[in-house]
Amino acid sequence: MKLSLKKVMKLLVTRHGETEGNVKRILAGVKDELTVKGVEQAKKLAKRLKNEKIDAIYSSPILRAKRTTEEIVKYHKNVDFHLVDELREGDLGSYKYKPMDRVDWNNLPSDVENKTSLYRRAKKIVNKAFKKYPKGTVLFVAHNGINKAIIRVIKNLHPEDKISIPQHNTALTVCEINSKGKKIKLFNCTKHLE
């Protein structure tokens, strides 16, 4: 009797390199650029991933994520590459350009995207990637808020769960996804920056 092989997708999740907004602790807009350090972080992440067999890269179309992805793509020129809105950072509405310590995340204004909306987007892109690459390795390059939502999806947490989920710049999280479930194998790893 032949055993059937399980379909397992390896999902790599990372955040863009450091930006001016990160340094100044300000909630950034779409034009927030990588700092010199952020470009270096992206290059180090790219070197860490250069020998990884990646079948597809999905990136947020926002500049800081795109710029980080450009460094990775240098080592993966023939990989399927997709810019997808599902990986955009949460819409900050009236919180945009405000200092992080002057916003109330527990009482969001109606124009700021909430965790449930981020969770729906995260679930949609995870399912979309799994459907297309059920035995492949897929890389997501995105942002703090949406990456936290992706982790909530992987861990099967409630969208509004208050658990602390750190997402350091260019940190790597490795997940395995199959039809029976999802698990995290490596979380928020920055060893390439040491």
Query: What mean pLDDT comes out for the span 126-150?
Result: 97
Provide the pLDDT for residue 2: 40
106-127 pLDDT tens trace: 899 999 999 999 999 999 999 9
The range of the structural domain enclosing residue 81 comes to 8-180
Task: Please indicate, yes or no, if residue 193 is contained in any of the structural domains.
Answer: no
DSSP letters along 7-74, please? PEEEEEEEEPPPBHHHHHTB---TTPPB-HHHHHHHHHHHHHHTTS--SEEEE-SSHHHHHHHHHHHT
35-86 pLDDT tens trace: 999 999 999 999 999 999 999 999 999 999 999 999 999 999 999 999 999 9
Provide the pLDDT for residue 1: 35
Residues forming beta bridges with residue 189, ordered by sequence position: 172
**Number of domains making up the chain:** 1
What does DSSP assign to residue 52? S
State the pTM of this model.
0.94
Q: Kindly list the catalytic residues.
A: 16, 89
Task: Please indicate, yes or no, if residue 68 is contained in any of the structural domains.
Answer: yes
Give the CATH number, domain containing residue 52: 3.40.50.1240
Task: Please indicate, yes or no, if residue 167 is contained in any of the structural domains.
Answer: yes
Residues forming beta bridges with residue 83, ordered by sequence position: 59
CA 97 to chain centre: 21
